[in-house]
Amino acid sequence: MLEPIRFLLPGPSYVPEDVRQALARPLIGHRSAAFKELYARVGARLPAVLRTRGEALVATASSTLVMEAAIASCVESQVLHLVNGAFAERWHQISVALGKSPDRLEAPMGEALDPDLVRRALRRKRYEAVALVHNETSAGVMNPLPEIARAVREESDALLLVDTVSSLGGVPVETDAWGLDVVLAGTQKALALPPGLTVFTLSGRAAERAAGVARRGFYTDLLRYLAKHREGGTITTPAVSLFYALDLQLDRILAEGMEARWARHQRLQARTAAWAEENGFAFAPAPGARSWTVSCLRPPDGMAAPEIVQRLGERGYVVGGGYGDWKSTTFRIGHMGEVRESDLEALLAALAEVVVACTAS
Ligand SMILES: Cc1ncc(COP(=O)(O)O)c(C=O)c1O
């Protein structure tokens, strides 16, 4: 039985009590037989979450490191960044910082990326890779990843590097079926684990290309992760305690089933949308672009988003404020990870109270 969830940030998300307790287990050496067994158990089940018949790897790092590693390992120079929010912006900055020659194809914050524009960009120029964020946590926007992936596959031989940080575990991500080359996700969002680990895939063709890329770094060399993985371990001292947590949480995720998990997240989004409509709250993202894991809402006129966040806090509920340019005008509900309908209903009831309090003041 899970405790009631009142922590609905768009990451980090609520972590179940048994998983939190797993963190307190005594440590084991990371070259011990016990860790090898733990690592193998994790490695055997992670591909089902990432929907690949290939290998699924784990870095002791937050997602940004693996975003950097994907560029450092897979791109010599030419990469196209699809940008419609803060994290895609960050990925572009990473390519600049690494001395690559990145181009950008943008959509305004709140709108989804257009697969046809991607197609046209790929007809104009050859790229080694296309990098995009599946679910822009900053804006609550979900990009049409299958359609974009199809466009990239049909128009080019560019590798597809995909940040699924706030979608993996809550939204369909079909690594093999959609032909994705690097899929990465920090564990602190829809996987409902503490921050500190990032899970990722590296396709066979991405590994082949990486072999031809000079100066992949050390901690950012994905081929080094792959080689160590095949020996049954990690490239550096891993966050062993977080592996205990991952091991346990994988049981929960796979017992629920990926399809059931996705459907639950979709229901949470639909319920939030219905409540918003009844109560005069508008979605900041365009209708076809709304995320299943993060709802980014604008309150009705006369109500300030930061005040809503604060008043929910006074009632014991944690939600996210707006991000970047939308900081003062929106707030974000992270209905991801282990959040159930009953948790969302309780939050929405508290939100209704907050609306009354804001209107009265
Ligand atoms: C979509 C997305 N990408 C990347 C990141 C960066 O993750 P981290 O802070 O774990 O490096 C975040 C963090 O919220 C995110 O939401």
Q: DSSP assignment of 191-231, as one string?
A: T---SSEEEEE--HHHHHHHHT-S---STT-HHHHHHHHHT
For ligand 1, say whether the CB of 221 is within 6 Å of any of its atoms: no
Q: Where are the beta strands (DSSP E) in the chain?
A: 7-8, 56-60, 78-83, 101-106, 129-133, 135-136, 141-142, 159-163, 182-186, 197-201, 282-283, 294-298, 318-321, 331-334
Q: Quick check: 33 and 94 in contact, CB under 8 A?
A: no
| 8 CA from centroid of ligand 1 (Å) | 16
Task: Pick from 165, 166, 168 the residue to mutate for probing ligand 1's pocket: most ligand atoms within 8 Å of its CB.
Answer: 165
Task: Provide the residue-wise pLDDT of the chain in tens; the chain has 361 residues.
Answer: 779 999 999 999 999 999 999 999 999 999 999 999 999 999 999 999 999 999 999 999 999 999 999 999 999 999 999 999 999 999 999 999 999 999 999 999 999 999 999 999 999 999 999 999 999 999 999 999 999 999 999 999 999 999 999 999 999 999 999 999 999 999 999 999 999 999 999 999 999 999 999 999 999 999 999 999 999 999 999 999 999 999 999 999 999 999 999 999 999 999 999 999 999 999 999 989 999 999 999 999 989 999 999 999 999 999 999 999 899 999 999 999 999 999 999 999 999 999 999 888 7
What is the predicted pLDDT for the residue at 360? 82
What is the predicted pLDDT for the residue at 66? 98
| 201 CA from centroid of ligand 1 (Å) | 17
- Closest atom of ligand 1 relative to the 136 alpha carbon: 1
Q: Taking the model in full, what pTM does it have?
A: 0.98
What is the predicted pLDDT for the residue at 361? 75
Residue tagged 């992270």 (tokens): 334
Residue 59 main-chain phi, psi, to 5 deg = -110, 140
For ligand 1, say whether the CB of 225 is within 6 Å of any of its atoms: no
Report the distance separating Cα 341 and Cα 339, nearest Å: 7
Residue type, 146: P
For ligand 1, say whether the CB of 133 is within 6 Å of any of its atoms: yes
For ligand 1, say whether the CB of 143 is within 6 Å of any of its atoms: no
For ligand 1, say whether the CB of 196 is within 6 Å of any of its atoms: no
> Which two structure tokens, joined as six digits, stand for 360?
């009265």
- Angle ∠(161,44,334) on CA atoms, nearest 5: 55
Q: List all residues 6 or more positions away from 90 whose beta carbon is below 8 Å from its beta carbon.
A: 64, 67
Report the distance separating Cα 75 and Cα 80, nearest Å: 10
How many angstroms separate the first and last alpha carbons of the chain? Answer: 39
